[in-house]
Amino acid sequence: MDLLQQFASDNYSGICPEAWSAMEAANNGSASSYGDDPWTKRAADAFRNLFETDCEVFFVFNGTAANSLALASLCQSYHGVICSSGAHVETDECGAPEFFSNGSKLFVAESQDGKLSPAAIQEIATKRQDIHYPKPLVATITQATETGLVYTPEELSAVAEKCEAHNLRLHMDGARFANACVRLGCSPAEISWKSGIDVLCFGGTKNGMAVGEAILFFDRKLAEDFDYRCKQAGQLASKMRFLAAPWIGLIESGTWLRNAVHGNACARYFADQITTIPGIQIASAVESNAVFVTASDRSLDLLRQHGWKFYTFIGGAARFMFSWDSKRERIDELCRDLRSCVMETCSL
């Protein structure tokens, strides 16, 4: 069955050929389990090369686990994690960060654009110092953000400086880290450990894998016993080579970056095509692979009736996400239908 392509999420995409063939290449005979295999070692080394540093690398199944376990490893249960009100850890992980940390509190900073500002970090970090309130110990930011924006290296440094001033560790949710690298033209090192990030969750699923996220600890001390934490949480793959091998396919060939180049370019293309439609607005700057469109409820209802899928609960607008396999002709169809739905509802 060949389903029509949709742009509701970048996780609607399939597995890219490079990830697929790397998985196939690993399907050769038997290998030691639980990560004690040559593919896992090679994938971890690929990350160390890519990030130009001797970090600790772990592979888990999904982003919720990656974020939650990483945050839990930075906190005791009486600590707090500062995040933006738009953060995936706050809005889309069903309380997993609190659950896996045994109750660390998320301190949510209201944010218009979805970014966590240095001022907000300062305000929360200094709000209370008494024994009756959880102690802030971590800040988490998302790169690219849930609303498709990127933190520039300068913004990252300003966040990291604030964290340092208040003795906070800094975690980055990089579900779309590749898209941010493309947008900024920066190396992975520049916008992670060189910008003060202690732990990065690097997204594989939305980039083109079937499943999998990598957790990179730039401060190796913070990774102590993290393997036990993964195992206890049900995130230690027994046939680890199949979780690790696709990373080899993505990273050694540079595919991780090319996939993000394509996703970002498709978002740009879509945004450019729809700017001439009267009565709609692009709600958030297009800086990665997302386009948020504000249009009347009636026109969006009509667009759904035309068979298009999209979410409106994120960022307060209709969200369209593009991935490695987004097709130009299908984007053109979406533009055409969006235009006709808006025109039809305008003239009613």
Ligand X SMILES: *Cc1c(COP(=O)(O)O)cnc(C)c1O
Interface residue with ligand X, options 64, 255, 289, 326 (CB under 6 A): 64
147 lies in the site for ligand X, by CB under 6 A: no
Alpha-carbon distances, residue 17 vs 61, 177, 240 (angstroms): 19, 20, 20
146 lies in the site for ligand X, by CB under 6 A: yes
Instruction: Pick the stretch among 60-68, 97-105, 325-333, 340-348 that binds ligand X (CB under 6 A).
Output: 60-68
Instruction: Pick the stretch among 58-66, 70-78, 157-165, 216-224 that binds ligand X (CB under 6 A).
Output: 58-66
d(CA 32, CA 43): 15
Least Å distance, CB 262 to ligand X, is: 18
Least Å distance, CB 206 to ligand X, is: 6
d(CA 41, CA 244): 8
Residue spans of beta strands (DSSP E) within 191-309? 199-203, 213-217, 281-282, 290-294
Binding-site residue total for ligand X (CB under 6 A)? 10
Least Å distance, CB 328 to ligand X, is: 24
Cis check: omega of the bond before 144, within 30 degrees of 0: yes
Closer to ligand X by Cβ: residue 160 or 175:
175
Interface residue with ligand X, options 35, 63, 80, 315 (CB under 6 A): 63
Q: Residues 6 or more apart from 12 whose CB is under 8 A from it?
A: 5, 6, 321, 323
Q: Kindly report the backbone phi and psi dihedral angles of residue 189, in degrees, each rounded to the nearest multiple of 5, phi listed first.
A: -65, -45
Closer to ligand X by Cβ: residue 63 or 249:
63
Closer to ligand X by Cβ: residue 18 or 146:
146
Phi-psi region of 214 (alpha: psi -120 to 50; beta: other; left: phi over 0): beta
Q: Write out the residues near ligand X by the rule CB under 6 A.
A: 62-64, 88, 142, 146, 173, 175, 205-206
